């Protein structure tokens, strides 16, 4: 029997939790029901059934290795060291390699079904990874579940940084919820979503330079819900920090070396600086910030546990 399922159009915010018998509360792998029979696994400080304790939350997006537990641990450490009692949530975007349990949504690590840029899942067929995070945002913003929560930061490193930057542009739930401030921290992504055809480097021999995920052409179903102007306006109205390691200048850790990415710069640090410069030139009132971390390369632990990293994630808490 095929593992594919038909996308359910009516999503219910029900919950299911898987609890390892010997695990502490913070180590438990939980599952958020996205629709009947469709779950998103996640790690969290408190299950998404709710808690009166947190006043802020961090949704941390893992990298291409899909190590959600590792990212949960690192962000939880950063929260403790910063002195924050944040709710930390780490969604797990599985692929077939993880042998997902029955009912778990899963994507691909690249191509049209990639979780990294809001692509449609393999199962249930077409479910956007961005839509999954929409559900997490709506639950955290639900005052019946988290009555004292006032802030949400969505943060990701590397592939998770790519996810965060593009979700900041197209994410639907942040425009729908009330009573919470939402910010975004994109750390060391390999590439960015541009809003016009200008690039820092030559791209004459790269016909796909302006196709999504690099530009606005040929966007996936989720990102096509808004037209170009509304997508641009939404992104430049949201609070975004580009968090860059100053030593992330090497061709390593799976850096995107396609011509589309190289049109944005030679390495991650160069690409991030160029993108920030472009945004501030074209949209000077955009509430976007560039924050760099001296002596750090492509290292999520060092980035989020740096003084600049913790300030970007927990600012105002």
User: How does pLDDT run across 58-115, given as a tens digit for each residue?
Assistant: 999 999 999 999 999 999 999 998 887 899 999 999 999 999 999 999 999 998 889 9
User: What number is the average pLDDT over the span 8-33?
Assistant: 53
Q: What is the CATH number of the domain that holds 57?
A: 3.40.50.1820
For residue 184, what are the domain limits? 15-314
| In-domain check, residue 10 | no
Give the integer Cα–Cα distance in Å for 291 and 312: 8
pLDDT, tens digit (0-9, with 9 covering 90-100), for 104-140: 999 999 988 899 999 999 999 999 999 999 999 999 9
| In-domain check, residue 7 | no
| In-domain check, residue 8 | no
| In-domain check, residue 3 | no
Separation in Å, CA 88 to CA 112, 235, 242: 29, 24, 20
What is the model's pLDDT at position 267? Answer: 98
| In-domain check, residue 77 | yes
| In-domain check, residue 205 | yes
Given the structure tokens 């940084």, which residue do they identify?
Answer: 161
The total of structural domains in the chain comes to 1
β 239-245/288-293 pair status: parallel
Q: Label residue 27 by pLDDT band (50, 70, 90).
A: low
User: What number is the average pLDDT over the span 153-165?
Assistant: 98
Given a cut of 50, whether residue 250 has pLDDT beyond it is yes
| In-domain check, residue 1 | no
- The percent of residues above 70 in pLDDT, for the chain, comes to 91
Give the integer Cα–Cα distance in Å for 218 and 119: 12
């Amino acid at each position: 029997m095929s593992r594919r399922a038909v996308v359910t159009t009516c999503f219910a915010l029900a919950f299911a939790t898987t609890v390892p018998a010997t695990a502490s509360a913070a180590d438990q792998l939980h599952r958020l029901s996205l629709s009947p029979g469709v779950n998103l696994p996640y790690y969290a400080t408190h299950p998404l059934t709710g808690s009166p304790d947190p006043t802020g939350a961090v949704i941390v997006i893992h990298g291409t290795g899909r190590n959600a537990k590792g990212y949960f641990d690192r962000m939880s450490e950063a929260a403790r060291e910063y002195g924050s009692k944040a709710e930390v949530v780490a969604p797990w975007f599985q692929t077939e390699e993880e042998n997902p349990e029955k009912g778990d949504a899963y994507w691909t690590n690249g191509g049209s079904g990639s979780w990294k840029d809001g692509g449609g899942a393999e199962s249930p067929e077409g479910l956007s990874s961005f839509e999954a995070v929409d559900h997490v945002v709506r639950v955290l913003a639900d005052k019946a579940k988290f009555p004292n929560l006032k802030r949400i930061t969505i943060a990701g490193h590397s592939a998770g940084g790519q996810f965060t930057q593009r979700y900041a542009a197209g994410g639907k739930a942040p425009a729908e919820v009330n009573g919470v401030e939402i910010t975004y921290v994109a750390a060391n992504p390999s590439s960015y979503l541009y809003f016009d055809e200008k690039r820092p480097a030559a791209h004459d021999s790269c016909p796909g330079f302006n196709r999504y995920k690099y530009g606005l052409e040929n966007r996936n179903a989720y990102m096509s819900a808004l037209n170009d102007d509304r997508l641009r306006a939404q992104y430049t109205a949201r609070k975004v920090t580009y968090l860059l390691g100053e030593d992330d200048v090497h061709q390593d850790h799976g850096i995107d070396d396609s011509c589309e990415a190289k049109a944005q710069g030679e390495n991650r640090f160069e690409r991030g600086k160029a993108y920030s410069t472009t945004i501030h030139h074209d949209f000077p009132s955009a509430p976007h910030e560039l924050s760099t971390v001296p002596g750090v390369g492509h290292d999520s632990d060092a980035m989020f546990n740096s003084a600049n990293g913790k300030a970007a994630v927990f600012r105002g808490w």
